[in-house]
């Protein structure tokens, strides 16, 4: 694709293309890349192209624009599971081309967090994308397909050099406050700075019409919506429902750290959120009435664990249970039922005591695992529109 083909378009059409806001967001291509004809590698036996560099991706992106093909971006850190696939399905239903980014972003990991051990399952991810693309093609209801994976290196994403993970680190960062300082941001002070920064980069590179995020990371969706609004980014943020295991545990790439013993108790958070939701359903509106039963349940479940022998039990710490505003994530004393609210929580599952010979401790010998989850308390209008 070259500028020649753009100028070869009929005048009305080409001026239409030129005035589209996305065109102005795609930087001009240099002649080196205009003349490059090399096609990106693909996931074997698929047409899903793999891009690792920005210029090659932009050539492909420009062609999609000129062909009037819309792009839906699903940002991920890989280690794909059904939660990711559900977002990709949504994106394929609403866009011609889905781009899945796979990048474990260092700046959202605190210095003592699990950047080095974060699960990396590239081959399996490619296999899952291949199967999903077949499924999408076989389902007549879809507009699009999985067209590309953008899997850059850190040199590509942070061209000025390795980024700082320190709280006071210098660098080109996007910060969204106060939303990014509360709850998850209070426990992980560099987390939302890293997320907003990498998402700003991904949005600038991919220039998607729509971006897809999971409800499981609800505060992330609040931060990203705010970033899109406040930086006047021309993309729509779509949020997909949380996918769960049969017992209610929210799917998460980090669940592989749990191992068998902790996995059984890991439902503590989803159970606590459900009892709080039930209180709201019974007409409770105050913070104490809604969060009280959830706090009681976590205490009861922990007491049960302490009655077991060290080699059987699981210890956990509740970081927070929150009742917060839908747009700002600020804590509420009372839910306005014409608005609804976000119930959310975080629980740290501690490494098991007295591991037994041959016990499945989980990936990397089962470090502490932070679980997060949430439920939206629906407003009367939301409830009646379902
Ligand atoms: N259970 C889920 N249901 C729906 N979306 C999900 C689920 N889990 C993750 N996502 C979404 O997938 C996207 C990519 O998330 P990510 O790659 O970090 O996976 P993750 O499972 O959240 O990993 P982690 O365990 O590191 O939090 C995010 O928008 C996230 O909200
Ligand atoms: C959005 C994201 C891919 C940014 O690295 C990450 O925070 C995630 O996977 O939720
Ligand atoms: N899904 C959120 C990514 C993280 O916890 O780093």
Q: Pocket of ligand 2, candidates 199, 211, 218: which has the most ligand atoms within 8 Å of its Cβ, to mutate?
A: 199
**Domains, in order of start, for the chain:** 3-240 (3.40.50.620), 253-384 (3.30.1300.10)
Q: What's the confidence (pLDDT) of residue 37?
A: 54
Say which residues have a Cβ less than 8 Å from residue 159's Cβ, sequence separation at least 6. none
Q: Which ligand is nearest to the CA of 252?
A: 1
Single out the catalytic residue among 45, 81, 84, 311.
84
**Ligand 1: does its nearest atom lie under 6 Å from the Cβ of 72?**
no
Distance 372 CA to ligand 3 centre (A): 10
**Ligand 2: does its nearest atom lie under 6 Å from the Cβ of 75?**
yes
Residues 86 and 100 sit within 8 Å (Cβ to Cβ): no
Evaluate the omega torsion of the peptide bond into residue 178 and state whether it is cis, within 30 degrees of 0: yes
Q: Which ligand is nearest to the CA of 257?
A: 1
DSSP 253: G
Residue 91's SS3 state is: helix
Residues 220 and 211 sit within 8 Å (Cβ to Cβ): no
Question: Which pLDDT tens digits describe the chain residue by residue (386 residues)?
Answer: 333 333 333 333 333 333 334 434 544 544 444 445 578 999 999 999 999 999 999 999 999 999 999 999 999 999 999 999 999 999 999 999 999 999 999 999 999 999 999 999 999 999 999 999 999 999 888 899 999 999 999 999 999 998 899 999 999 999 999 999 999 999 999 999 999 999 999 999 999 999 999 999 999 999 999 999 999 999 999 999 999 999 999 999 999 999 999 999 999 999 999 999 999 999 999 999 999 999 999 999 999 999 999 999 999 999 999 999 999 999 999 999 999 999 999 999 999 999 999 999 999 999 999 999 999 999 977 777 76
Q: What's the confidence (pLDDT) of residue 381?
A: 76
Which atom of ligand 1 is found nearest the CA of 244? 1
**Ligand 2: does its nearest atom lie under 6 Å from the Cβ of 194?**
no
Number of helical H runs and strand E runs in the chain: 15, 9
Q: Pocket of ligand 3, candidates 191, 192, 215, 344: which has the most ligand atoms within 8 Å of its Cβ, to mutate?
A: 191
DSSP 331: B
Distance 68 CA to ligand 3 centre (A): 33
Q: Which ligand is nearest to the CA of 224?
A: 2
Residues 268 and 262 sit within 8 Å (Cβ to Cβ): no
84 is catalytic: yes
Distance CA 365, CA 358 (A): 11
Q: What's the confidence (pLDDT) of residue 222?
A: 98
Strand order through the sheet with 369-377: 316-324, 341-349, 369-377
Tens digits of per-residue pLDDT, 245-279?
999 999 999 999 999 999 999 999 999 999 999 99
**Ligand 2: does its nearest atom lie under 6 Å from the Cβ of 195?**
yes
Tens digits of per-residue pLDDT, 53-84?
999 999 999 999 999 999 999 999 999 999 99
Which atom of ligand 3 is found nearest the CA of 372? 5
**Ligand 1: does its nearest atom lie under 6 Å from the Cβ of 210?**
no
**Ligand 1: does its nearest atom lie under 6 Å from the Cβ of 235?**
no
Q: Which ligand is nearest to the CA of 103?
A: 2
Whose tokens are 């792009």? That residue is 71
**Ligand 2: does its nearest atom lie under 6 Å from the Cβ of 217?**
yes
Tokens of 232: 């006047």
> Which residues form ligand 3's pocket by a CB distance below 6 Å?
108, 217
Tokens of 51: 């891009």
Half-sphere exposure of 255 (CA within 13 A, CB side): 20
Distance CA 68, CA 20 (A): 11
């Amino acid at each position: 694709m070259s500028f020649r083909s753009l100028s070869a378009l009929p005048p009305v059409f080409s001026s239409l293309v030129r005035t589209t806001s996305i065109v102005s967001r795609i930087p001009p291509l240099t002649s080196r890349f205009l003349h490059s004809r090399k096609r990106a590698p693909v996931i074997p036996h698929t047409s899903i192209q793999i891009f690792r560099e920005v210029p090659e991706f932009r050539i492909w992106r420009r062609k999609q624009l000129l062909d009037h093909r819309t792009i839906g971006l699903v940002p991920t850190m890989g280690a794909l599971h059904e939660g990711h696939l559900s977002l990709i399905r949504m994106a394929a239903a609403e866009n011609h081309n889905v781009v899945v980014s796979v990048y474990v972003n260092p700046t959202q990991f605190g210095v003592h967090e699990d950047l080095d051990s974060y699960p990396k399952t590239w081959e399996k991810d490619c296999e899952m994308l291949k199967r999903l693309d077949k499924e999408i093609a076989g389902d007549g209801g879809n507009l699009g397909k999985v067209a590309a994976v953008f899997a850059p290196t850190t040199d590509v994403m942070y061209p000025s050099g390795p980024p700082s993970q320190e709280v006071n680190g210098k660098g080109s960062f996007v910060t969204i406050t106060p939303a990014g300082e509360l709850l998850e941001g209070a426990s992980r002070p560099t987390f939302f700075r890293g997320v907003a920064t990498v998402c700003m980069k991904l949005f600038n590179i991919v220039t998607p019409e729509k971006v897809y995020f999971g409800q499981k990371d609800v505060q992330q969706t609040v931060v990203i919506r705010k970033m899109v609004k406040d930086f006047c980014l021309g993309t729509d943020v779509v949020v997909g429902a949380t996918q769960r295991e049969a017992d209610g545990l929210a799917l998460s790439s980090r669940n592989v750290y749990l191992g068998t013993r902790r996995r059984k108790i890991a439902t503590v958070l989803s159970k606590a959120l459900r009892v709080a939701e039930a209180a709201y359903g019974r007409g409770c509106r105050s913070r104490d009435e809604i969060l009280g039963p959830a706090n009681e349940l976590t205490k009861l479940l922990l007491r049960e664990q302490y009655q077991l022998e060290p080699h059987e039990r699981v210890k956990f710490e509740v970081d927070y249970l929150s009742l917060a505003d839908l747009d700002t994530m600020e804590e509420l004393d009372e839910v306005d039922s014409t608005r609804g609210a976000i119930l959310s929580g975080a629980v740290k599952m501690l490494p098991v005591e007295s591991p037994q010979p041959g016990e499945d401790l989980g990936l990397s010998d089962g470090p502490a695992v932070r679980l997060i989850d949430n439920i939206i308390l629906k407003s009367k209008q939301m409830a009646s529109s379902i």
